[in-house]
Amino acid sequence: MPLNEGDPVVIWVDPKRIYLVKLIQNKVFSTDKGYIDLGKLIGLEYGSEILLSTGIKAYLLKPTPIDLYRGLKRLSQVLYPKDIGYIIYSSGVQPGSTIVEAGTGSGFLTLSLAYFLGNSTKIVTYDVREDMQDIAKRNASYLGLSDRIIFKLKDIREGIEEVNVDAIFLDMPDPWNAMETVRKALKPSGSLIIFVPTVNQIEKVIPSLSDFVDVHAEELIIREYQMKENAVRPRNIGVIHTGYIIRGRKRIKVS
C-alpha cells in the first residue's frame, strides 16, 4: 500500500544508521550519508529503495518493535526487547486481557503490550511522575496506539482501581510495598511480573510473595554475533545485564 503523510517509516541506510521518522511534506531528513525530502517518499511503499542526496542507497522499512525501541523518546532507562518479549510470553496475556502496569516510564512495555495485543485488550498504566507519562503519551500518539492505553497519574501502592485483573507488571524501586493492592486487584491464577535491576531487590521481594505459587527469578542474556565474511564471532560489546524478572501466579488461600 502507498505510504501517506504522517506514516512512520524506518529509513535503513546501514546497520549503524537506522532512523525512525514520520513522512511530512517539506521536511528534510538528514544524515552524515546524505539527505532526502521526506515529502518525496509519500506514495512509495514499505520496502522501497531510495537514494540519498549523495547517491547512497537507503530503504524504507515498516517499523517493528525493535525499530521503535531505537527511535522513540525516553527520559530514563527502559526495558529491553529481550526482557519485554519474555515478560509478555510468560505472563499468559492475550487479546481481551485486562492488564495493569506500574510505572509507566517512557512507555516501552506499555506500547509493546498495545502493539501485540490489539484493541480488545484493556491496558492501564500507573505512574507517579507526570513528566514520564507525558513522554509515554507522546510515544503512544506517534505510533497511533493512544486509544489502546489508559494512563493514570497515581501511586499504585495507594490502590488499584481495576479488579479481576489478568496480569500486573511492576517496574518500580520498591514493588514489595505494592503487594497489598496487587493481591486485591489480581484474579486467582493471574500473573504478577516484577522487573528489578539488583539482587538486593529480589531479596526484599521474596517475603512479600506468600500469596503466589510458581515463583521464579530469572535473568536473560542475549549475545549478538558480527556478520562478516571469514570473521563471524560474538561482538566485542553488547548488553549483558539489564535486570531480573520475578514472576509468580496468585493462589487462593484456604482457611
Q: From the annotation, which residues make up the binding site for S-adenosyl-L-methionine?
A: 106-109, 127, 155, 171
Burial class (CB in 10 A: 0-12, 13-18, 19+), 215: middle
CA 165, 171, 172, 173 dihedral sign is positive
* Residue with the three cell numbers 531479596: 203
Alpha carbon distance 221, 164 (integer Å): 33
Three-state secondary-structure class, residue 124: strand
* Grid coordinates belonging to 59: 530503504
CB 198 within 8 A of CB 237: no
Q: How many CB atoms lie within 10 A of CB 6?
A: 11
Phi/psi for 214 (5° steps) reads: 55, 50
Strand-pairing partners, residue 37, are 28
Q: Which residues make up each annotated binding site?
A: 106-109, 127, 155, 171
Q: How far apart are CA 1 and CA 18, in angstroms?
A: 22
First and final C-alpha spacing in the chain: 60
The cell 544524515 sits on which residue?
31
